[in-house]
Amino acid sequence: METVKAVILDLFGAGTETSATTIEWAMSELLRNPTTMKKAQSEVRELLKEAHKNTEAAPTCSSSSPKTVPRACRIFNYDIAEGMTVLINVWAIGRDPKYWEDPEEFKPERFMNSGIDFKGNDFEFLPFGSGRRMCAGVSLGLANTALALASLLYHFDWKLLDGLKSDEIDMSESSGLATRRKTPLLLYAVPRKTNIGIHGLGSAS
């Protein structure tokens, strides 16, 4: 029972904050980049015009879980002793100008027609980690975030609180299991007038 409880706790811990954080950052970036928001909304709305249901879109994210080194080794000029805990800073790798053009810019287009893999084969982009201990829930995580994000973009237009401009959105980060927003993202959700119901969305704010 202890093991079963631990596994369930692990799945909730690893599966909820990561997905929620991905969606919150994606919305923050889209609100900061109204042209990209329009593009994403028209794409989702065009795709779902016929289907009347939500399917797939695209996410981002985080860090790597701590790894314990099984035997002493040397990486670059660092001696790593057996049993040491090592953290790989995939946040920094994902923003390294050696690998990325305008690394700080939100440019989802950079992934279009690009062969870059996000499931652990290309080490410059590791949103789900890599190797034996990479994310066990990658497929669920992708479907989950894509469905929620597509629903938000399909059914609503999004407005910032009165007086706030898109370049004034606070993008400060806090630390935690996943890098969450420091302040909540507060938005007005304006329902789109369609004759289609809202799938899987409880509250609109």
C-beta closer to ligand HEM: residue 42 or 174: 174
Sole window of 32-40, 95-103, 140-148, 156-164 interacting with ligand HEM (rule: CB under 6 A): 140-148
Q: Does 103 bind ligand HEM (CB under 6 A)?
A: no
- String marking each residue 15-34 x if it binds ligand HEM according to CB under 6 A: x--xx--x------------
Least Å distance, CB 6 to ligand HEM, is: 11
Of 135, 131, 11, 83, nearest to 3 by C-alpha is 11
Sole window of 48-56, 70-78, 126-134, 188-196 interacting with ligand HEM (rule: CB under 6 A): 126-134
C-beta closer to ligand HEM: residue 98 or 132: 132
Other C-beta atoms closer than 10 Å to the C-beta of 90 total 20
C-beta closer to ligand HEM: residue 93 or 160: 93
Q: Does 14 bind ligand HEM (CB under 6 A)?
A: yes
C-beta closer to ligand HEM: residue 93 or 164: 93
Contact status, residue 63 vs residue 90, Cβ threshold 8 Å: yes
Q: Does 124 bind ligand HEM (CB under 6 A)?
A: no
C-beta closer to ligand HEM: residue 91 or 192: 91
Residues that bind ligand HEM (CB under 6 A): 10-11, 14-15, 18-19, 22, 59, 61-62, 64-65, 127-130, 133-137, 140-141, 144-145
